[in-house]
């Protein structure tokens, strides 16, 4: 565990150091604020997905939940106002997450298959509701709707960046300091032993999927606020980036091990790689190759460490 912790931190520090030496713009205030802003969407998804992975389940529907929540936010804000639209989006995310958990628990089908199938259903639902069109809030409500993307007085740091920090802290405390968090680790480590010790495994899995749904809804709100609109195709494949960030950060794909800060470190590494390609003028065609190799290295390291402990 110590090797894994130090490895991700060393990699992050080395990457930041190389970019700071290779470019004159990396350490500028504008670029650092931009880095934080770029990490928000994947970071919010990664918070929920990391909780799921620690519990031993996968959520491949997070990006589809993001899209549905964004569409709900726009449509409800038209008739009931922006605050109601935001609240409805979060409620929609929690509901869809709970549906994921309920289907996984009741069907006993692997979460990978269930959430993959439901992601298609949710995309179809968003497509049916919008008719395939882009939906916009009322013109008079647009400034309030986009307030979620405004910069703050903290040196230009945006509201979404502060939102990500808050969600990361809350989910970290949930895992570290609550009974629910301890049970999440127990279920992810050995669900049968957790069941025999009196833990309601189904209820825990339902809870983590609901948390992931809320995180996805918040990501949908941020994305809709930035563009001032929503559509069914929003956030396509972003759940894969969030899973990649969690894996790169050291969260085990087998469950029972991981932490939110590791997921955030993984998000930071992916964001720095993208930023580095832009600042150095490299061909972004090769960026997926670098990210794929990082994921492979992270999974291989996780397997090697588990094998060494056994």
- pTM for the whole structure: 0.93
The CATH number of the domain covering residues in 2-309? 1.10.3470
Q: Quick one: pLDDT at residue 310?
A: 55
For the chain, list residues with pLDDT below 70: 1-6, 153-155, 302-303, 305-310
pLDDT digits (tens, 9 = 90+) for 252-266: 888 888 899 999 999
List the chain domain ranges: 2-309
Q: Quick one: pLDDT at residue 28?
A: 86
Q: Quick one: pLDDT at residue 1?
A: 47
pLDDT digits (tens, 9 = 90+) for 29-55: 888 888 999 999 999 999 999 999 999
Q: Quick one: pLDDT at residue 88?
A: 97
Residues facing 158 on adjacent strands:
151
d(C-alpha 88, C-alpha 95), whole Å: 10
């Amino acid at each position: 565990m110590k090797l894994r912790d130090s490895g991700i931190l060393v990699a992050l520090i080395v990457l930041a150091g190389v970019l700071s030496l290779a470019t004159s713009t990396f350490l500028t205030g504008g670029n650092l604020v931009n880095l934080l802003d770029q990490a928000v969407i994947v970071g919010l998804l990664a918070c929920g997905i990391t909780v799921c992975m620690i519990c031993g389940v996968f959520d491949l529907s997070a990006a589809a939940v993001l899209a549905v929540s964004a569409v709900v936010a726009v449509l409800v804000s038209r008739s009931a106002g922006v605050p109601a639209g935001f609240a409805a989006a979060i409620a929609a995310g929690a509901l869809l997450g709970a549906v994921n958990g309920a289907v996984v628990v009741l069907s006993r089908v692997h979460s990978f298959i269930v959430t993959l199938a439901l992601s298609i259903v949710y995309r179809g639902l968003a497509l049916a509701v919008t008719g395939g069109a882009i939906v916009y809030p009322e013109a008079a409500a647009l400034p309030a709707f986009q307030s979620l993307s405004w910069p703050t007085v903290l040196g230009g740091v945006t509201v979404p960046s502060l939102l990500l920090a808050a969600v990361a802290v809350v989910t970290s405390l949930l895992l570290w300091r609550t009974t629910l968090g301890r049970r999440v680790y127990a279920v992810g480590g050995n669900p049968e032993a957790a069941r025999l010790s009196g833990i309601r495994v189904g209820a825990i899995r339902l809870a983590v999927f609901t948390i992931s749904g809320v995180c996805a809804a918040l990501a949908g709100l941020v994305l809709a606020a930035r563009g001032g609109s929503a559509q069914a195709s929003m956030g396509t494949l972003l759940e894969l980036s969030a899973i990649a960030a969690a894996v790169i950060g050291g969260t085990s794909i087998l469950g029972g091990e991981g932490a939110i800060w590791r997921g955030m470190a993984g998000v930071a590494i992916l964001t720095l790689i993208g930023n580095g390609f832009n600042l150095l003028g490299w061909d972004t065609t090769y960026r997926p190759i670098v990210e794929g190799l990082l994921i492979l290295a992270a999974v291989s390291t996780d397997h090697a460490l588990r094998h060494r402990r056994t």
